Structure formats: C-alpha cells, structure tokens
Chain A
Amino acid sequence: MDLSKYAALFVTESREHLKACNTSLLEWESNPGATEPVGRLFRAVHTIKGMAATMGYSSVAQLSHCIENLLDGLRQGRLGTSPAVFQLLFRGIDALGRTVEAATVGTEEPVDSALVAELDAAAGSQSASVSEEKAPGPPQHARRATDLPRLRQVSVVIRSGAVMRGARAALILRRAESLGAVSGVRPPPAELERDEFDGRCAFRLQSRHSDAEIEAALRAVGEIDTLLLEEPVARRGEAQGVTRHIRIELRRLDVLMKQVGELVVAKNRLSSLGSQIGEPALTEVSERISRLVSAMQTEVIEARMTPVGEVFERFPRLVRDLSRDLGKQIRFDMEGEEIELDRSILDDIGEPLLHLIRNAADHGLESPAERIVAGKPAQGRILLSAALERNTVAIRVTDDGRGIDRDRILAKARREGAAPETDTLTDDLLVRILAKPGFSTAETVSGVSGRGVGVDVVMTRVRALGGTLEVRTELGRGTTFVIRVPLTLAIVRALLTQAGGERYAVPLAYVAETVEFDRRAVTAVRDREALVVRDQVIPTVHLRELVSAPAGPTSARRPTVILEIGERRTALVVDALVGQQDIVVEPFDAPRGLPPFVGGATILADGAPALILDAAALL
C-alpha cells in the first residue's frame, strides 16, 4: 500500500492532537486531581502512536509509547503527579512534536534515548517494544464536542404584518450576538435598512447555549413568525467530534478571493454604466449580477474566516513556560476565542501577540515579592481577549502589573531627542514613543523579551494589516495593549471622498459619522484648528492640504468625515462626499517616500484608480 498520500493527513491530525495534548496537560497541571485531562491526553498520545505505527514512523511510535506508558500509570493511580512529572510530560510532548515534524519531511530523527530513559524510569517499567504491539483500532477522539461552542444555522421569518421588519431583524441579530459569535449574516446588514426587506434573515451562531435557550432568547425579541435552528450543512462532520481538516489548499482560497475581488470591481463598473445608460433590461441584469457577486463575496470571505482561538491556543503554554523562566506566578485567561478573522490576518497576528504577551509577563508583571509589597496578590494576571467592535476585531493584552512610568518614558524620550512639546504624556503619544524603532526603557536585558524592543515590531506588523495599536496604562495598576484589525483584508466597504479633483477612499470601519464643516464652529486647541461637534472638540485635517492640492475656492460649509479609532477622533475636511462602495484593496508596493497617510490603492467603479487613506495615520 502506498502510504505517502496519507502523510499529509498524518501530520495535520498529529498536530491537532499535539495541540490537544498541550491544552490537556496545562489543564491537568493546574488541577492535578482532575481525571478528565489525563484521559484525553492518554487518548491523544495513543492515537498518534497508532497512526505513526501504521505509517512506519518508528521514532514517533516509540516515543509516544513511552509517554503513553507513563500516562497509563498516572491514569490508573499507580503513580502520583508532581511538578517534575509534569515537566517531564511537557518535554515529552515537545519532543514528540519535533519527531512528528521530522518524520513527515523524511528525516526521521533517532529517538532521544536520554528522554526515553527518563520516561521509562518515571513509569517504573521497561517499555515493551512497539513493534510487538498491534496497531490500535480506529483513533479515538481527543476532543469532546460538548466542550466546544456549537455552530448552528439560524433562519428567521418575521411576521408579515410587523412594522419595520428590518429593524426587528437588527434586534434579533443584537440578541444573537449576546449569545455567541454571529457570522454569515444574510441579507447583508445594509439591506435591513431598506423598506423592501422581506422579513427573512439567516445567520450562523456559534454558542455554548442549548437550542432551547437560543430559541427562547431570540423569540423574546417578538414579532417572529418562524424560527429554525439547524446543524450547518457544511460542517455536519464535526457533530461527532471528528477533527477538522482544511481540505482546500489555502492558496486556492487566495486565488478565489482575488478573482472575486476583480469581479467586485467589474460589478461596480457595470452597475455604474447601467445607471448611466438607463436601459431597464440592462439595469435588471446588472442588479442580478450585483446580488450574485455579493453573495459569492460573502461566501468566499466566510470560507477564509477562522476563529482567533487557533492562534490563541498556543499562548497558555507560552505563559506557563514564561512563568517558570521568570520565576513569576501568572494566571492567564483568554476570552473571545470564537471571534473570527480572515485567515491571512490571523496568520500575521500571532507574532505581534507573542511580543505583547512576553512584554506583559517580563516587564509588565512584577515579581511575587514586589507585588506583595505593593499590596497585590502574589499571582499576576494576564488576559488575552478578542471582541468584535464595529467592523474591526479588537484584541487586547491586559496585565495587572506595574504599569508604564510616563515620567521615565518622557525623560528618556527627551534625552534621545524625541521630546514631545507637552509635559503630559497622553496614551496616543506614549504608544508613538514606545513604537520608535529601538526605543527601550528596560534597564536590564532579559532573555525573555530582549531589550524591550518589540512595540515597534508590533506596530509595523499591525499597520501592515491595516490595523492600529493603542495602549492604556496606569502606574501601579497595569497596562493594556489593543490591537485593532479589520475583519478581512481584501474587500472593504469605503466612503469615497473628493478633494482637489481626486477621489480618496476612507474605510467605513473608521468612519464615525459625517458632519458639515462650519467656519463658525471652528476653534483652536494648542494652535491647531479644531471643530466643535456637539460640545466635543475634534482636531481637523484638511484633505486638500494633506495631498498638496492647490487651494481652490472654498465654501464656508464643507462636508467633513469624523474618523474614529477607539477614543480618538479626527475631523477630515473634504471637498465632497461621493458615496459608499465596496473596494478591493490592491497590494501596494510602497515606493520610498510615500506619504504615511496612504494605506493602499484601489480601482473604482468607473475604472479610475484612487488612493485609500490610512485612518490611523490621520489621527
């Protein structure tokens, strides 16, 4: 039998099981009395052993056999747990991971005999040779379906006599969001605002609640005719806890996404031509194509959406190791693992998070002794959380440590010639100083987070994703870093504005509202022009000046876009608002000297190119 075609499957599945091993081991370590984790751990290792033996990867099989032996003794209570045993198991699982990776690229590693000897000694027995053992039966499942939030397809029909059915649907969506993660909303939310909305909407809901609880909660919104909860068709295989595989090569999804992007551009162009020509038959076809392309776009974007938990799940292990290395007690919690992000963004978010978590553990949290002196519990806390906010995902790394000393940062920045003009260091300014390449306040270089360099790396990465980085810190209380990224990179809804005869796209995710620039509402704050909007003073930026367009005739009242990221706001004064459009972000090889406020380029519906403004750079 040709086994090579199973090699890829072996490695994917083994990686999943190894991840489950780490999770179970962490859980078990934190609660050594629990019997669940050791059972799961045993089954996962056992499954890997069986697969490896079938594939003929003898190193993998031998090592997993030793680990399994030790686990068996622990599981049956013949052996007792201790910190040393846990450490040995962690080392064993790590070695198993390396052996699996090596085996699948054809360079099978000899088994680490010292480790095997330690495992055997701990298990108190000589391991039987694997080859004598029969390959085990069908793999058992390491994960239980009931532990995880379940995904359902929810379809709702709103009573036909109800008023404002779109608004009712919006209420249902809000309620659903309070129960879990909502995705794949159909029709798109903008449709709900139209009077033609027919009262039918559908979405996916990933929730820990039972069907009955979900149904009761949604029905309480009122005016619902029918409500249906179903197992989503595409993922039915998961119901029995079968491991998930990505069966499509990611590259194909990328190609598909790019093509759908082109299609969106062509669709926009077609509908703009259609409305110019005004031929009813053409308009009809064009509208039909619009709907189809929108549906397809939603589908492709969804296929690329992956829960952030996939990136989060490696951090508990990291923090555990950090806490050992640094001699600190750290409690690590995660929230919002079910929030979904575009795969390509997710792939790039891991490293910035790694930096932030390391910084939090190393620089943020104090030693247990310092904490006790400061009147805090000896155990520090780091929280990693994800949340959906407007059209962005905010990922926060929060610690309850010493906080960042603004005075020290300010003094240091002054010495380095990066002295800001003010005496008070706002959060905005602080993050900009911290993100200066090479800026460091760490007095000692530690092996964990180096010279405190990292914030600049994080900032660069996050900006490349079209995201932003914020910091909030309070001396003695702790620090929170917020990474905010768009849900998807490829296609964004944008507000088109005009200045000096050119059009510029502003991603809607950062648009709070549009107002009118009124000379009478202008004031000055620290020599900067600012606009007063409902008692709030917002600094202005004139797009014309920004792009060095000639100052043409200006009327007293001009449209103004209020940009908002977190708490920060800027009023962008433009010549005209053109409208909203889905734009496809074109990859942009930034030539040197490109102004920082340009975040990318796009092709508009009429075929003309336009620059995309980077909201973060304008704030």
Chain B
Amino acid sequence: MDPTTVMYVSQGLQGLAYGMILFLIASGLNIIFGMMGILNMAHAAFFMLGAYICYQIVAMTGSFWLGFLFAPIVTAALGVLMQQLFLRKAHVLGHFGELILTMGIASVIVAAIKKFWGTQNLPLSMPDSLNGMVSIVGISYPAYRLFVIGLALVVLVLMMLLLYRTRLGKIVRAAVSDREMVNALGININLVFMLVFGGGIWLAGLAGVAIAPILTVFPGLADQVGMDAFIVVVTGGFGSLVGAFIVSIIFGLLSSYGVQFLSNFAPVLMVCFMAIVLVIRPNGLFGVKE
C-alpha cells in the first residue's frame, strides 16, 4: 500500500477510537438525558472523576485491570448519591433547575479533584498486555486503541440487549413514556430511575478509565470532551443509542480528518454538523418527534 493511503487509513482509525470514547460518554449521557429528561451537565465531571479514581487505584495497587473494574463502580455510586440527595429535589422544578444543579455539582467535583490531586497532568500507563502495536493489513496500530473500539462495541450491544430484550429494559422504556402509570402498576419508579442514572454514570466512569491512558489525567479533561459528548447526544437524537453511535463515529472522523484538511475550522466542524442536522431535524438524526 502506498504511504498516503496508509496515512489516511490510520488517521481514520485514530478518529474512530476518539469517536468510540465519545460514544461511551454520550451513551451514558443519552440514557440519562433521553430516558429521564435530565440535562446532566455534571456528566463530563463524573467522566473525569472516573479517570482520577482509576489513577488512584492504579497508583495504590499497580493493577490497571483493578482500576478498570472498580473505578466506574465507585463513580456510579457517587453519581447515585448525588441523584438521591439533590437531583430528585430539583426534578420538580423542571429542566432549568436540573441544569443549574448539575452545573453546580460539576464545579464542586472539579474543585474536589484539584484539591486532592492537584492541577498537573498525571500519567497512567496502559496495561502491558495492550501496550504493543497490532498490524492490520499492513498498518501498525496501537493495541490499546483497538481495545477501546472493541469496548465501545461491546457496550453498544449489551445496552441494546438490556433495553430491548429484557424485562428491566421494558420497564425503563415504559417509565420514560408514562412514569405515573408505571408507578401505579406497583413498580418502584424511584429505584428504576436510580438504576438508569447509576448505569449512565457508570458508563461515564468507564469512558474516563478508557481515555486515561491515551490522554493522561488532568483537570481540563471534562471541558475537552464534555461538550463534544453533549453535542453527540443532541445530534443523534435523545434516547437513541444507534443515533449516538453513528454520530460519534462521524464526529470522530470529522475531528481527525478535519485537523488535516480544514485545520482552521476544525473546532467548529462538529457544531456546524449539529447545526445543519438540527435545522432539518430539530429532534436529532434518530430522534422521535414528540
């Protein structure tokens, strides 16, 4: 293969890996946003918190896989705590209240992170088993990024199965369309939403853990990826996992090829794409018209 093609393909793979990380964050945001109607501005902060907790676990035990396993769970527990303590009260006020509350929580989390871990970049080494290069049709590619792509695919499949093939998924979807009726049928709606919220934050934590070895851990992590994930959800359509997945891939590719061809306007390619989509379909690409 000639070198330019190799460059384009590896650029594309790079974008794909970024897109997959976006999808991991966006899918969590999407189930919270799409199913509970909560504009969770703290999502990116939890994502960052996941990365930091993983860093801490790795620093203490030396095992990446322990961090990989437990950091998202700890993050999810903190998220559920926040939901039970504050968010339930704000839900009465509608979107504005939730928006401001989660913004407040996001900035408290950032403050806590700066207090405990400082503001410097903390490196997190990837596990030895994934630290090599893999060669696919003549192009060598970091194994860790392939792992991230695989992880996102697994998450997509598992979530689709969970939502559309299990009783729990049915209850969740029913609760979204008419929570009072589901409540009247004797299902503990608070518990269902707690699970959904916990699941969403778990995904944010997982994304944080996945990105930590690629980007190092620093307090600006949330700003960098958070807005992108939000844009993915809005563009893909609320509550649509497939939409989030496709848009994540498009954005990943846009960001990697955009830097190459339109470097001046790379930062706004995503928002331009979103603007075009929203003008044509205000509910997002795969959104259902209310």
A, B: real partners? no
Which A residues fall within an 8 A CB radius of B?
none
